[in-house]
Amino acid sequence: MQSQSLFTRMTGKNVLMSFTGPFDTEVLSIFGKNIENSISQNKKLNKTIFKVFIELAQNVSYYSLEKEMTKKGEKAGVGTFIIQDFNDYYYFVLGNPIDERHEAILRDKCSRINSYDRDGLRAYKRELRKLPPGERGTGNIGLVQAALVSRNPLDYTFIEINDSQSFYIVAVKINKD
Amino acid sequence: MENIYIEGSHTNFFVPTVEFNAETGVCVLSGESFLEDTIEFYDPLVQWLEEYTSEIKKPMTFEIKLTYFNTSTSRSILDLLNILKEYEDDGGEIIVNWHYDEDDIDMEEDIEDYMLDTGLEINMIPFDEDEF
C-alpha cells in the first residue's frame, strides 16, 4: 500500500519497534509484553507506553478498513505501529486505512480531545464510558485515554489513498522525565 | 450461593484475581485486568453481585487492589460499582475500599471519577508499591 510505505519512510528514524499486519489479540499481547518488559529500564515509563499501545492498537483492530482473518478465525484490522526513541521522549505512531467518510468524524474527535484540559478529558472519558460498548463513538475512549495517560496532545493526519479511502495516522509523545 | 475464586495471571493477557465470598460478604478484585474478552470475564461477576445483593443481602466489603486495567475493563468496573450503589440505595450495608499505588495519579483520578459517576463513597487507600 503506497501510503503505508510513505508512512514508513516518514517515520523511519530512531525506530525501536515496528509492526505492520493484522492487530489481532495475539499480536496485541505479544507486543504489549515486549513493550512492558524491554523498552527502557524505567518500569513506570514502560507501563505508560504499554497503556498507550493497548488503547490505540485496539482501535486499529476494531476500526481499520482493511481486515484479515487470523489463524484463530478472528477478523482483525490491519495497520502499522512504530515506537521511536528520541532524547526526551518516545514517540508512538500508529496508522491504518479508514473509510474516507469517517475522516471528518475522526478529525473532529482528535481536535476535540486536543482542545480539552485534563479535567475536560476526564469528563469526556466518563461520558464515553457510559455509552454501551459497540455504540457509535465509544471506540474513541481509547484516544482519550492515550491523551490522558501520555499527558500530551494527539498528533494526527490523514493521507488520501483514493476517493473512498484515507490512511489515518495518530501519534503520541511519551515524555521520558 | 457459591463463592468465586479466580487466580490471576500475568501472561499475554492479564487476568485479575477474584475472590468473592458469599459467607463473609468480602469481595476482592486485585492484580491487573487486560483480557481477551472483557465482557465474558466480568459477566459472571456482575451476575454474582446481582444475586448476592438481591438474595443474601448481608453487609459487604468490596476491596479493589487493581494496579492496571484497560478502558474496556473500566466499563465493567463501572457496572460492578453501579450494582453496589443500587444495593446501598436499597438499604444494603456496603464498604468499598480501593487500594492504589500512591504514585499512580492516573489511578487516583480514575477512582475519583468512579465516585462522581456512581455516587458511591469509595475509601481511597494509598500504598507504597515497594511495600505492596
* Prediction ipTM score: 0.91
Residue A35: domain span: 2-175
Q: How many Å apart are CA B91 and CA B96, to the nearest integer?
A: 15
Domain tally, chain B: 1
> How does pLDDT run across A67-116, given as a tens digit for each residue?
998 877 888 899 999 999 999 999 999 999 999 999 998 999 999 999 99
What grid cell was written down for A104? 471528518
What grid cell was written down for B63? 476491596
* Per-residue confidence (pLDDT) for residue B36, from 0 to 100: 83
Decide the pairing of beta strands B17-20 and B123-127. Answer: unpaired
- CB nearest A122 (choices: B71, B103, B113): B113
> How does pLDDT run across B32-42, given as a tens digit for each residue?
999 988 999 99
Instruction: Give chain A as a DSSP string.
Output: -HHHHHHHHHT-TTEEEEEEEE--HHHHHHHHHHHHHHS-S-HHHHHHHHHHHHHHHHHHHHH-SSEEE-TTS-EEEEEEEEEEE-SSEEEEEEEEEEEGGGHHHHHHHHHHHHH--HHHHHHHHHHHHTSPTTSTTGGGHHHHHHHHHHTSPEEEEEEE-SSSEEEEEEEEEEE--
Which residue has cell 524505567?
Answer: A42
Which positions in chain B touch A141 (Cβ < 8 Å)?
A: 71
Question: In a mutagenesis test of the A interface, which of B14, B71, B108 is the best target, namely the one with the most A β-carbons within 10 Å?
Answer: B71
CATH code for position A35: 3.30.565
* Predicted confidence (pLDDT) at residue A143 exceeds the cutoff of 90: yes
pLDDT band at residue A20 under the 50/70/90 scheme: very high
CATH code for position B108: 3.30.750
> How does pLDDT run across A112-141, given as a tens digit for each residue?
999 999 999 999 999 999 887 665 555 689
Which positions in chain B touch A25 (Cβ < 8 Å)?
A: 13, 36
- CB nearest A129 (choices: B12, B74, B103): B74
- CB nearest B106 (choices: A58, A141, A149): A149
Which positions in chain B touch A47 (Cβ < 8 Å)?
A: 68
- Å from A109 to nearest chain B CA? 17
Which positions in chain B touch A124 (Cβ < 8 Å)?
A: none
* Per-residue confidence (pLDDT) for residue A2, from 0 to 100: 47
Domain tally, chain A: 1
Radius of gyration, CA atoms only, chain A:
15
Residue B120: domain span: 4-131
- Cβ atoms of A70 and A61 within 8 Å: the answer is no
Contact B109 A149 (CB under 8 A): no
- CB nearest B106 (choices: A25, A54, A148): A148
Contact A32 B109 (CB under 8 A): no
**To 5 degrees, how large is the angle CA A70–CA A48–CA B121?**
105
Of B17, B18, B12, give the one whose Cα is nearest residue B35. Answer: B12
